[in-house]
Amino acid sequence: MVEAADPRLRVYATQFHPEKNLFEWGQAASGELQQAIPHSRAAVAVSQYFANFFVDECRASAHRFASPTDQWKQLIYHSPQWLAQPTVLSPNFVESYVFGASRPNGTRNG
């Protein structure tokens, strides 16, 4: 791995998905296991540690939106989404946002 970073900036990255232990079960509706995701007390504690750490770092920033309306305009929640067709590469728990591209049913987003 080669890494280059500015030590004056607070930039963090992970090479894994710490949220999976908290929110994903890796199991299809049929019960078929698609991913082996641990949900032990230790696995959940580690995931929660990363979440708390990242959120605390964000709270340390003075950057704020001018108003709740300005903030809402930037959030993804009001954008159309669709659940991907379950495949090996896209399990049934993956929610996808597609901007400016055709959706599987032929309609277009925004």
Cα 58 to Cα 55: distance, rounded to the nearest angstrom: 5
63 catalytically annotated: no
Q: Cα–Cα distance between 27 and 22 in angstroms, integer? A: 14
- Closest C-alpha to 12, from 59, 45, 63, 57: 57
Are 108 and 39 in contact, with CB atoms under 8 Å apart? no
Instruction: Identify the active-site residue in 17, 39, 63, 78.
Output: 17
Q: Which residues are catalytic?
A: 17
